[in-house]
Amino acid sequence: MIRRIAPAVLVLVLAGLLGWFVLSTNAPKSHFSVKTGLDLSGGTELIYQADTSKVTADKQGALESLRDVIDRRVNLFGVAEPLVQLEHSSAVAGQQEDRLLVELPGVTDVKAAVDAIGKTPVLTFALVQPAASSSVSVGQIAGVTASTSAQPTLIPTALTGAYLKNAELQFGTGNSAGAVAGSPMVLLHFNDQGAKLFEQLTAQNVGKQIAIVLDGNVISAPVVQEAIPGGTAQITGTFTANDAKTLVQNLNFGALPVPIALESSNTVGPTLGGVAYKDGLNASLIGFALVALFMILWYRVPGFIASVALVIYVLITIAVIKVVPITLTASGIAGFILSIGMAVDANVLIFERFKEELKTGKGAHEALTIGFGRAWPAIRDGHLTMLISAVILFWLGTSIVQGFALVFGFGVIASLISAVFISRVFMLAVLPNDVKGAWRWLLGSGFMTAKSIPSVSEPKS
């Protein structure tokens, strides 16, 4: 008896701790509070289509640089917790499309958002006139060392990103001035006109810093060591390989980013979003209550146990949403509601098998073991197909579909745990050894009478 009760007590204790975590982290400022999407919290969503037809190499790098540029613009816009991410449409219907999704919580002025984001990024070169006792750090141009600091003055020059052909990452051999063997360095290649401008600029400013400015932000500020002819410059410094790679991407795609066109925009007011969130929660509570009520009325004691397991399933799912974290959207709530029904589906299969074994005169524990064993293949296959569907939807779908697929997928896994493990542990702890008296009716279902289940006394264990 103790061997059957102890696991159930342990599950209840863990469920209590899980419930405490879920309830204690509901404060808006909590690190684990549920994060809601624009359709629930209000804000603006902008979807841009990126034209990568003219990108011949490193298409992904171009898109990532585009995302970084837009992300900088969004942050300058002053939006709290913005989201900027790349999306790739399915290539099933034709050529794959690349999109940029921009979510701006709390922003309802679409025109202002589009104006702030849609500008073409500007790459310029400027002379650094440092403030007293300050310098601007970052690297070394052909013997140019970089450093940065407090509020220097930037003096624009005629050299812009329009004259830059490309940048590339290399590693020093120790033969070049300022280059340590094995250290990363960035090579700049200018066109003919840019080469002349750059040679004049470096010749006139030896010992001074030249800042490379993208969208008003200094991304490198090397010190000129000598005049640089030929249109090729070498930036060395103390940056890491990842820093150098990022600098190369910014230089290559900052001045001439992938062209983007606004494909669609959607604005949700905070009031409408709040109503959607409240309605979604009410739908979840009503759906849960109806499912639990049906299970108790139809399956009696096993149905009550399934409802308790369902509560634990809900706690597991909410905890996962908080910890991962998953941004909850209206479609995500729909996935959660649907997964509640799927969680009960496994219990229905088990209880029906269990009932059939009881009718043949088997004891409760033996019937439960056989019932779980015979229902398992159907439960396993059903959950596996649902997980495959969720993965495909998440892989190929848009952000709205992904929200549904992610919550639904986690819900399917949690339902498998609650039905196959938790329900079984509780039933083994609650069911008596002897099936007789009132237990014959309590272990039945639907319109079954006590006479439908034979009275059985199991050997005492």
pTM score over 0.85: no
Question: Is 444 a domain residue?
Answer: yes
d(CA 311, CA 292): 9
pLDDT at 10 over 60: yes
pLDDT at 138 over 50: no
Same-domain pairing of 330 and 303: yes
What length is written for the chain?
461
Between the alpha carbon of residue 287 and those of residues 15, 282, 414, the distances in Å are 21, 8, 17
Same-domain pairing of 29 and 71: no
Q: Which tops the pLDDT comparison, 172 or 375?
A: 375
Picking from 66-75, 246-255, 329-338, which range would have the lowest pLDDT averaged per residue? 246-255
How many CA atoms does the CB half-sphere of 158 hold within 13 Å? 10
Q: How many domains does the chain have?
A: 3
Question: Is 326 a domain residue?
Answer: yes
Between the alpha carbon of residue 171 and those of residues 185, 241, 354, 414, the distances in Å are 6, 9, 69, 49
* Predicted local distance difference test score (pLDDT) of residue 385: 92
How many CA atoms does the CB half-sphere of 358 hold within 13 Å? 30
d(CA 139, CA 178): 10
Question: Is 457 a domain residue?
Answer: no
Same-domain pairing of 60 and 48: yes
Same-domain pairing of 113 and 141: no
* Predicted local distance difference test score (pLDDT) of residue 142: 44
Q: Which tops the pLDDT comparison, 223 or 72?
A: 223
**Alpha-carbon Rg of the chain, whole angstroms?**
32
Picking from 7-16, 245-254, 306-315, which range would have the lowest pLDDT averaged per residue? 245-254
d(CA 66, CA 73): 11
Residue indicated by tokens 């300058």: 76
Same-domain pairing of 331 and 407: yes
Same-domain pairing of 111 and 212: no
Same-domain pairing of 138 and 83: no
Compute φ and ψ for 366, nearest 5 degrees: -65, -40
User: Hey, how many other C-beta atoms are within 10 angstroms of the C-beta on 325?
Assistant: 13
Please report, in angstroms and rounded to a whole number, the separation of the first and last CA atoms in the chain. 8
Q: Which tops the pLDDT comparison, 247 or 379?
A: 379
Same-domain pairing of 105 and 250: no
Same-domain pairing of 310 and 329: yes
User: Which residue in 298, 233, 303 sits closest to 447, CA to CA?
Assistant: 298
Same-domain pairing of 116 and 130: no
Per residue in 390-421, pLDDT (tens digit) is 999 888 877 678 888 888 888 888 888 887 78
Residues 6+ apart with CB under 8 A from 385: none
pLDDT at 89 over 80: no
Instruction: Please identify, among 229, 254, 279, the residue that sits at the C-terminal boundary of a domain.
Output: 254
Q: Residue 395 sits in which domain range?
A: 2-36+269-452
Asked whether 146 and 160 are in contact (CB, 8 A), the reply is no
* Predicted local distance difference test score (pLDDT) of residue 80: 60
Between the alpha carbon of residue 319 and those of residues 130, 145, 276, 314, 333, the distances in Å are 51, 50, 22, 9, 14
Instruction: Please identify, among 245, 267, 289, the residue that sits at the C-terminal boundary of a domain.
Output: 267
Same-domain pairing of 333 and 412: yes
Per residue in 39-62, pLDDT (tens digit) is 777 788 888 888 877 766 677 777
pLDDT at 120 over 60: no
Asked whether 59 and 296 are in contact (CB, 8 A), the reply is no
**Of all residues in the chain, what percent carry a pLDDT higher than 90?**
8
* Predicted local distance difference test score (pLDDT) of residue 222: 85
Question: Is 458 a domain residue?
Answer: no
pLDDT at 233 over 80: yes
- Taking residues 232-236, report their average pLDDT: 81
Q: Which tops the pLDDT comparison, 174 or 324?
A: 324
CATH number at residue 24: 1.20.1640.10
* Predicted local distance difference test score (pLDDT) of residue 124: 80
Instruction: Please identify, among 192, 220, 254, the residue that sits at the C-terminal boundary of a domain.
Output: 254
Angle formed by the axes of helices 330-359 and 423-430, nearest 10°: 40
